[in-house]
Amino acid sequence: MKTPFSGGCACGAIHYECTAEPIEMFQCHCRDCQRASGGACSCVVVVPAKSFKLTRGSLRYHFTPSAAGFQHKRGFCAECGSRITGGENAEGTSPIVGINAGSLDDPSWFRPRYNIFTADAQPWDYMDSALPKFEGYSPQTK
């Protein structure tokens, strides 16, 4: 993986660049992420908020309650519906941004280090047995 890295939405209306290496990479299996991704989990690349910048377009936001008691702020393209970001707090004061790994221009370097909210995982969701699993938040994502 090289920095800076970039990504965007399916229709090209949104594009972003990140100038820092990821802080964390994981898969979240909570019901909210299942619904938002349309699949078994969300694949997340966490970066410092100050290193993430939109270079084209602007995100529309949807807010959902988090298990930690705040509102998650999920950013998506208003044109095509592609989910770009998630997990930041609604107040906009979060020091991190969670990037949907599927939105990366080159997602081949994504390597999750662990799985969270495995208590919500579906029976048809086959996780990598070599990765640590946490029923809720991991110590790293609290």
Predicted confidence at residue 93, as pLDDT, reads 79
The answer to whether position 135 is within a domain reads: no
The answer to whether position 31 is within a domain reads: yes
Containing domain of residue 19, as a range? 5-120
Q: Which of 104, 113, 129, 83 is nearest to 7 (CA)?
A: 104
Q: How confident is the model at residue 140 (pLDDT cuts 50, 70, 90)?
A: low
Question: Which residues are within 8 A (CB) of 122 and not within 5 positions of it... i.e. 6 or more apart?
Answer: 29, 34, 40
Number of domains in the chain: 1
CA dihedral 19, 24, 28, 33 (to 10 degrees): -20
pLDDT in tens, 50-96: 999 999 999 999 988 877 777 888 999 999 999 999 877 777 778 99
For residues 108-114, average pLDDT = 97
The answer to whether position 103 is within a domain reads: yes
The answer to whether position 139 is within a domain reads: no
The answer to whether position 72 is within a domain reads: yes
pLDDT in tens, 3-15: 999 999 999 999 9
**Bridge partners of residue 46, in order along the sequence:** 24, 98
The answer to whether position 85 is within a domain reads: yes
User: At 36, which CATH number?
Assistant: 2.170.150.70
DSSP letter at 36 equals H
